[in-house]
Amino acid sequence: MNKLFYHSPASIWEEGLPIGNGKLGAMIYGDPLNYTLQCNEDSIWQGDFNDRNPKISKDTLNTIQSLIFKGKTIEAQEMMKRHLTAIPEYQRQYEPAGDLHLSFDQSASVSDFYRELDLSTALYKESYQIDEANIIVESFSSYPNNIIGWKLSSTTSLPYTFTVCLNRLRGNYQTFQDFSEDRQNKLVGISGQTANDGVHYAQCMNVESDGILAINGQYITVSGFKEITLYTTASTTFREENPVKYCLNKLKEVRKNSWDELKQDHLIDYQKLFNQLSFTISAPSEIKAVPDLLNEIGQGKTNNYLTELMFQYGRYLLISSSRPGSLPANLQGIWNKDLVPAWDSKFTININTEMNYWPAEKTGLSECHLPLFDHIKRMYPNGVKTAKSVYGIEGFTAHHNTYIWGDTAPQDAYLPATYWPMGALWLSLHIWEHYDYTLDKGFLEDHFYLLEESLRFILHYLVESPEGYLVTNPSVSPENSFYTNTGKIGYVSYGTTMDNQLIWEIIQCYLKAVKLTAHDKKLVEKAFKTLEKLPPHQVGNKGQLMEWIQDYSEEEPGHRHFSHLFGIFPGHKLKHESESVIDAARRSLELRLENGGGHTGWSAAWLINLWAHFKNNHQFHEAILKQLNESTLPNLLDNHPPFQIDGNFGFTSGVIEGLVQYDNDRLDLFPALPKKWTKGEIKGIHLPNRVQVDISWNNHVLENITFKGTLPGNPKLYIKNEYYGQLNALSEKDDRFLILT
């Protein structure tokens, strides 16, 4: 069914339903007689680019490194705050576009209210009665035409006045002006500039009706109507020299087409992506309104339709917030109602932005991955400057945040997070992943320099530790802290476990990529030598995988980040370790949870993926239920709190990882199939080498598996005895066989 549906209006933003096309988004909420399309345009950000890079001497950096090696953590941290903090400390924030306020001026009796978001069509719908009239409302955000459309249809002419108002939060953050142009065609809009020499923006709307229309400033009123159609678009100087002109021309162009024609354009475009994959694990009796689904989960019941819906919702949200030509999905995708949103609604690249794209390739949304690569290119020249200015070395680096202009300097002065130069490296791993799935050699050749230069930076950044290893210094484990040997709180160390895993990962990707494109041969030699001198994984006194190079006690044992488990997922390093090291990694996760970990939305989603890779079907399912119960808003958006979208994407990724995992020479089927998923079917899982796989099961037994394409190296298929059944589509001719485990 793939529908979020409700029998009551959305009284607040967090109950509203989102539509989007990558650039333009709207949250639809409110009473049917007085409600809002709160709009966003992905390039409305405060501030222009400025070079914030601190400039420090090699001697200063050497002193900091020496203090860290000597265990003088507090002294090193004080120096870092003085010398490595950017000026100004902070990047800028993402802002809303205008609000479309839609209202009936007279009170009316409303009954039989229903609203839905159909994920299979990306159409928002409402139906209700006013007096004796049946009302239908539809809305969508079109990628082909870059407009948001909204239409109200009544079975009889309504004796009311309907008002549409286009407005925008003013605050002290931007100039504001109204304009009314082309009154004959009922086009009005707003324009202005965001603060601190930010972008100039414009948003325009056009209203058409069979009733009587009138304009007053940014208000359009309609009376005596059966039908109202509204279109809006927005733009900024990030893309257009004259945003006002762009908006007016776009709406004039749109008026040449009927509503049905525009809707059909939207459906064809959207469904070519969404229909890449289908997933069913629920029975028809489980299909219920979203509030009922959430109530059942809150009562400790299992409803597989909610899992199914949440999985496809993640795909819907990615299609709606990340399309070619748009910016990447930010912390809130594209849906933001605040002038100063939580964490500025930026791109946080020490987990959140990467998680946004975990489901892209494997759920058939490779195209939606492209905005991330465009943004990495945008970051690159800044990241080269940051590497030189801050660290005095070559290559491409970025810290834990970036924003519209691709800033790579340290963000704020928060010791556990700010001074972490691994952001470009982690992002660059997505370049190889995209190639691995698509085999697009032209893409790899065009983006290889980003992978190579991020590796170049980290290989130059490494220094020899007292133990004789090559390590990052200074180094943090994102946002976590520990007690030093003197009992004080420390954040900075050297050779943290996550850093080592990231370095191993990028070297593996790079060594595969150099077989396909021109490269720096000396860097290849250095990469091979570095692999031999990275610190090994260590087991601590609690049986856990050590997060730092020393067995420190954590200040917050239930910390939200699982950074040292990157090598389980999304990385691969720990899968190549001994069972004792993997057991230690599992123990680390258990200790986190015993102390309250996994309590934020994205952390709960990461937990799902980790348990899938530990092949624990009970904990995997418990993690799914935990996220649904504790970290999900009434509109099924992820709740950090507040709303952050990463958990939605992480959830979708996790479901796939529980059903199919591919790593080099093996393919695992049902590594974490929950007992409650008795029967199911998933069609269109994408694997590397442009392979797709369809799977169905019944009574926990594999019923059918079909491959489209061939995985490299004829990997072995692993499945547990309890799931093995009659394989209708797998024959010896495939050169594939099952190993029961």
Angle, alpha carbons 465-468-469 (nearest 5°):
70
Alpha-carbon span 473 to 387, nearest angstrom = 14
Name the one residue in this structure whose structure tokens are 């109950």. 15
- CB atoms inside a 10 Å sphere around CB 634: 17
Token digits of residue 157: 């002419």
Alpha-carbon span 511 to 456, nearest angstrom = 13
Residue pair 12/176 in contact (Cβ under 8 Å)? The answer is no
Q: In the prediction, which pLDDT does 172 show?
A: 43
Calculate helix-pair angle for 497-513, 441-461, nearest 10 degrees. Answer: 140
pTM: 0.96
Alpha-carbon span 577 to 575, nearest angstrom = 6
Distances (CA, A) of 711 to 81, 378, 653, 693, 731: 49, 33, 20, 11, 15
Please check the confidence at residue 449 and state whether its pLDDT lies above 70. Answer: yes
Residue pair 721/740 in contact (Cβ under 8 Å)? The answer is yes
Q: In the prediction, which pLDDT does 216 show?
A: 84
Work out the average pLDDT over 415-434: 98
- CB atoms inside a 10 Å sphere around CB 731: 10
Please check the confidence at residue 726 and state whether its pLDDT lies above 80. Answer: no
Q: In the prediction, which pLDDT does 724 show?
A: 78
- For residue range 192-236, list pLDDT tens digits in order: 999 899 999 999 999 999 999 998 878 899 999 999 999 999 999
pLDDT band at 735 (very low <50, low <70, confident <90, very high): low
Alpha-carbon span 29 to 328, nearest angstrom = 25
Alpha-carbon span 170 to 98, nearest angstrom = 10
- For residue range 270-280, list pLDDT tens digits in order: 999 999 999 99
Q: In the prediction, which pLDDT does 184 show?
A: 55
pLDDT band at 739 (very low <50, low <70, confident <90, very high): confident
Please check the confidence at residue 603 and state whether its pLDDT lies above 70. Answer: yes
Q: In the prediction, which pLDDT does 631 show?
A: 97
Alpha-carbon span 652 to 310, nearest angstrom = 7
Please check the confidence at residue 613 and state whether its pLDDT lies above 60. Answer: yes
Q: In the prediction, which pLDDT does 218 show?
A: 82
Q: In the prediction, which pLDDT does 656 show?
A: 99
Alpha-carbon span 580 to 592, nearest angstrom = 19
Quick one: CATH architecture of 58-87+322-597? Alpha/alpha barrel (1.50)
Q: In the prediction, which pLDDT does 217 show?
A: 79
- For residue range 496-528, list pLDDT tens digits in order: 999 999 999 999 999 999 999 999 999 999 999
Quick one: CATH architecture of 3-45+93-275? Distorted Sandwich (2.70)
- For residue range 89-133, list pLDDT tens digits in order: 999 999 999 999 999 987 888 999 999 999 999 999 999 999 889
The average confidence (pLDDT) of the chain is: 94
Token digits of residue 583: 């057991």
Q: In the prediction, which pLDDT does 176 show?
A: 47
Q: In the prediction, which pLDDT does 715 show?
A: 82
- For residue range 361-394, list pLDDT tens digits in order: 999 999 999 999 999 999 999 999 999 999 999 9
Work out the average pLDDT over 287-315: 96
Please check the confidence at residue 404 and state whether its pLDDT lies above 80. Answer: yes
Please check the confidence at residue 729 and state whether its pLDDT lies above 80. Answer: no
Alpha-carbon span 537 to 578, nearest angstrom = 10
pLDDT band at 664 (very low <50, low <70, confident <90, very high): confident
- CB atoms inside a 10 Å sphere around CB 470: 22
Residue spans of the domains in the chain: they are 3-45+93-275, 58-87+322-597
- For residue range 123-172, list pLDDT tens digits in order: 999 999 998 899 999 999 999 999 999 999 999 999 999 999 999 986 44
pLDDT band at 734 (very low <50, low <70, confident <90, very high): low
